[in-house]
Amino acid sequence: MIKRIIIFALLGGLLYACATVAVTGRQQLSLVSNAEIIPMASQQYDSVVRTAKLSNNQQQTAMVKNVGSRIQRAVEQYMAKNNASAELEGFQWEFNLLDEPKTVNAWCMPGGKVAFYTGIMPICLNEEGVAVVMGHEVAHAVANHARERLSQGLVANGLLGTVGAALGQNPTLTKQLFYQAVGMGAQIGMLSFSRQHESEADRIGLIFMAMAGYDPHGAPRFWERMSSQGGGAEPPEWLSTHPPYSSRIKDLNDAMPEAMKYYKK
């Protein structure tokens, strides 16, 4: 009887610890708060920027910062119109271009701190391409994907409660789960969730870039360039944290009518 009570209590707690993703309305697990995860993410971001080499390409750096500011305003406008500005509490936006020509990547920490690598700039090609990547990465932060992944990791490892409590129980594992949650690691068991997050960020990112004044049709064009860059080769979908290029382009085109409602040149 006691075991049943405990199980029901845990299930009730998990059901209570749900949040709604802005834009899509999907329900997600949320055991930790942004007030806990954003400071940890900011500390990690500052560490990366301090140890990395910032790009001295003034034109590309200005482009990243300009697009970032426009996407930021679009996000704040969208959230305000939908009475969801509280979701951005604690955000301290920052946009940097790191000088790593061989790294084709960009990411956004919880709290709105973004890093682009110079290796992705030739594929971005122009400001529109930067907006595709920026909208997508910022969407991860606005949709609280890292918070959701961390919550899932804590539950999977029996660490229920706040991040502080989990750190007290198992600091090494909790830190590892945090790194995985913000994209600094990978876990085969989490791949299905990661693909879901990638697809969701694509859809949300389309809306944000459209609101910022960028043509959302640039998104499938960006992924076509990315596919060409890789010679068209990609791993099987079930082994990839990202949707295959073909699926991604199709989904983006399917979401285009919704995004175009927000687009103003």
Quick one: DSSP state of residue 214?
A: -
What integer pLDDT is reported at residue 16 of this predicted model? Answer: 42
What integer pLDDT is reported at residue 97 of this predicted model? Answer: 98
Quick one: DSSP state of residue 54?
A: B
Residuewise pLDDT in 10s, the chain (265 residues): 444 433 333 444 444 468 899 889 999 988 888 898 899 889 889 999 999 999 999 999 999 999 999 999 999 999 999 999 999 999 999 999 999 999 999 999 999 999 999 999 999 999 999 999 999 999 999 999 988 988 888 787 776 555 656 655 666 676 677 777 776 544 444 444 478 889 999 999 999 999 999 999 999 999 999 998 864 456 555 456 677 889 999 999 999 999 999 998 7
Residue 218 maps to a domain: yes
Residue 110 maps to a domain: yes
pLDDT, one tens digit per residue, over 54-72 is: 999 999 999 999 999 999 9
Residue 204 maps to a domain: yes
Residue 94 maps to a domain: yes
Secondary structure (DSSP) of 97-117? EE--TT---EEEETTTEEEEE
Residue 63 maps to a domain: yes
What integer pLDDT is reported at residue 158 of this predicted model? Answer: 72
Residue 220 maps to a domain: yes
Q: Do 166 and 199 meet the contact criterion of CB atoms below 8 Å apart?
A: no
Strand 18-20 relative to strand 106-109, pairing: unpaired
Go through 177-194 and write b for each residue having 16 or more CB atoms within 10 A of its CB, e for each that does not. bbebbbbeeebeebbebb
Catalytic residue numbers read: 137
Residue 15 maps to a domain: no
Residue 145 maps to a domain: yes
Report how many domains make up the chain: 1
Domain that holds residue 201: 33-260
Mean pLDDT across the chain, nearest whole number?
Answer: 84
Quick one: DSSP state of residue 186?
A: -
